[in-house]
């Protein structure tokens, strides 16, 4: 005798505007109140003239990240 297990699907509805507004509000707080924020924001150019310039941009961003990211136990 084979018994079937009833699988119940749970559907969670999320109101999209609430999700969008929460992430937008978090973004605004991070940008305008950076001391209370736990995130950093960085800007970089979307296009590079050649591979050499692209590598330079990436190297600069990696250096900036290495300087900004702190290890929790070293603080």
Domain extents in the chain: 14-42, 44-75
Listed residue (30, 54, 52, 53) closest to 40, CA to CA: 30
> Using CA atoms, how far apart are residues 70 and 75, in angstroms rounded to an integer?
7
pLDDT at 30: 79
Give the CA radius of gyration of the chain.
Answer: 22
- pLDDT of 75: 55
Q: Decide if 71 contacts 61 (C-beta within 8 A).
A: no
Extract the residue ranges of the chain whose pLDDT is less than 50.
none
C-alpha distances in Å from residue 62, one per residue of 30, 48, 70, 71: 21, 17, 14, 16
Decide: pTM greater than 0.85.
no
- In this prediction, residue 31 carries a pLDDT of 79
């Amino acid at each position: 005798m084979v018994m079937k297990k009833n699988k119940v699907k749970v559907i969670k509805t999320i109101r999209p505007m609430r999700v969008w507004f929460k992430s937008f509000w978090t973004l605004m707080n991070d940008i305008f109140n950076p001391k209370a924020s736990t995130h950093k924001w960085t800007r970089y150019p979307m296009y590079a003239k050649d591979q050499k310039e692209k590598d330079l941009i990436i190297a600069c961003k990696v250096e900036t990240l290495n300087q900004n990211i702190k290890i929790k136990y070293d603080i």
